[in-house]
Amino acid sequence: MKIYFDYNDVPAQGAVITLGNFDGFHLGHQRILSETVGVGSALGLPALVMTFQPHPRRFFGGDLPLITPLGQKLALLKRAGADLVLVQAFTRTLADLAPEVFFREVLVRALGGRHLVVGWDYSFGRGGAGDTAFLQELAARHRLGCDIIPPVRWGQETVSSSAVRRFLAEGQVKKAAALLGRAFSLKGRVLPGAGRGKSLGFPTANLYPPGGQALPAYGVYLVRACTRGRSHWGVANIGRHPTFPGGEVSLEVHLLDFSGDLYGRLLQVSFLKGLRGERKFSGPAALALQLVRDVELAKTLLARDSVLKL
């Protein structure tokens, strides 16, 4: 997979193009990319994904927590079969292009688009004035193919990045996973913490999510943590840890089947089931007692094999 950062640098060799932010790369996004790759294969053309950095809503000042950082998004696009990815800088100049100008100058002239694939709610051009009907009209005018992918449903829910963010904010990580097609995860380098977990008999690997990252509701979760190709069950506490106020938001992971030094390692933590919400305890002894209960609950769930059936 080749990655570009300016549409002027992409060889205009002809391509099947899909456009969007693809934050979360949920089941709806996966269907869009599957169609893009399929059409590209049938036409003998590369599948090109055009996405934007920063997210347009963030560019215009919106407070939008991102589900998938760029590195994770690129890995997911590669796994799904994208041949080319254009991570286009979203600037005022780009934002001010009229829909027909964006279509003609970027998609046709610069990228050599031959076929377009977008989701049902896609909009483009200045102020999002171009909708899917206008995109089809422009495509027909320029003799390009154009497919509009209908919404993907999960029960009564339309699969969307907004729905994923809502479920995460509610702590419903299993529902978020159903929409994503995989468990929601956070990845970071293990850094030193305050050492409280170790003093309580529950040593933890500490990660510090970047600002603007979508997070599950603060609380305790059963997780699967992966480092250096090996994975381990664990109990993770994400939040501000109110029993010891004054700290920043962190993810503290106690691995159930590991002993050793994790400092400096990259750790990917997948959230599988909520165990309880964040609470303030009267002191270290009360917290230690609750941690024993949390670990016992996690082991009970694992013994019942409930999460392995996800």
Give yes or no: residues 194 and 150 share one domain.
no
Tally of domains within the chain = 2
Would residue 121 count as lying in a domain? yes
Instruction: Please tell me the predicted confidence (pLDDT) of residue 93.
Output: 95
Give yes or no: residues 150 and 244 share one domain.
no
Q: Is the pLDDT of residue 245 over 80?
A: no
Q: Is the pLDDT of residue 20 over 80?
A: yes
pTM of the model: 0.91
**Percentage of residues in the chain having pLDDT higher than 70:** 95
Would residue 79 count as lying in a domain? yes
Give yes or no: residues 87 and 220 share one domain.
no
Q: Is the pLDDT of residue 88 over 90?
A: yes
d(CA 221, CA 298): 9
Would residue 164 count as lying in a domain? no
| Tokens describing residue 66 | 């991102």
Instruction: Please tell me the predicted confidence (pLDDT) of residue 261.
Output: 80
The DSSP element (H or E) to which 134 belongs, if any, is: helix 132-141
Instruction: Please tell me the predicted confidence (pLDDT) of residue 308.
Output: 56
Give yes or no: residues 147 and 13 share one domain.
yes
Would residue 285 count as lying in a domain? yes
**For 232-247, what is the mean pLDDT?**
84
Reported confidence tier of residue 290, pLDDT bands at 50, 70, 90 = confident
Phi, psi of 173, deg, nearest 5: -70, -25
| Tokens describing residue 212 | 């603007």
Q: Is the pLDDT of residue 197 over 60?
A: no
| Tokens describing residue 19 | 């456009």
d(CA 262, CA 189): 9
Length of the chain: 310
Q: Is the pLDDT of residue 147 over 70?
A: yes
**For 159-184, what is the mean pLDDT?**
97
**For 170-182, what is the mean pLDDT?**
97
Would residue 211 count as lying in a domain? yes
Would residue 198 count as lying in a domain? yes
Q: Which pairing describes strands 230-239 and 205-207: parallel, antiparallel, or unpaired?
A: unpaired
d(CA 150, CA 46): 23
Give yes or no: residues 145 and 221 share one domain.
no
Return the CATH number at 107: 3.40.50.620
Reported confidence tier of residue 61, pLDDT bands at 50, 70, 90 = confident
Mean pLDDT for the chain overall:
91
Q: Which domain holds residue 249?
A: 183-309
Reported confidence tier of residue 199, pLDDT bands at 50, 70, 90 = low
d(CA 113, CA 44): 13
Return the CATH number at 265: 2.40.30.30
Instruction: Please tell me the predicted confidence (pLDDT) of residue 283.
Output: 80
